Amino acid sequence: MHMKQFPVIDLTATGENITRLRRAKGLTVREVQSYFGFEEPQAIYKWQRGQSLPSVDNLYALSNLLEVPMNEILVSAASKRNIVEFEQQAEPCCSNHFQTGHSGYGKSPMQLQPFIPCTVSAA
């Protein structure tokens, strides 16, 4: 029996993804802070800098706010390696995933593509 590799979350890449998704929705850090009812924005900044992850309940709420599934917020270390390899190869397979326009991702925030590497097949 082949064991799956233990998944590890890439904190930095996840933080960058949270920042990207927040900006794509047109939300400020203060607006996210207000949504969570935090007195200070430090927690949001820590998530974005990859210094910490949201708790499970906050991750669930964040996915609701950003209108994406929780697994599209988190970035695994293995996925990041695949993305780096993909970017170095510059294969055209995913060129339609990233269109020019709003923040370099899609023509409007609602046209963002899921944050998954091309090497994963949709089974």
* Structure-derived torsion over alpha carbons of residues 7, 8, 11, 15, reported in degrees to the nearest 10: 0
Q: Cα separation of 85 and 97, whole Å?
A: 16
Confidence of residue 122 (pLDDT cuts 50, 70, 90): very low
Threshold 0.75, pTM exceeds: no
Domain-by-domain residue ranges, the chain? 11-111
Q: What is the pLDDT of residues 63-110, one digit of tens each?
A: 999 999 999 999 998 875 555 444 454 444 444 444 333 333 433 344
Q: What homologous superfamily does CATH list for 11-111? A: lambda repressor-like DNA-binding domains (1.10.260.40)
Instruction: Give tens-digit pLDDT for 17-67.
Output: 999 999 999 999 999 999 999 999 999 999 999 999 999 999 999 999 999
Q: Could you tell me which residue, 78 or 12, shows the higher pLDDT?
A: 12
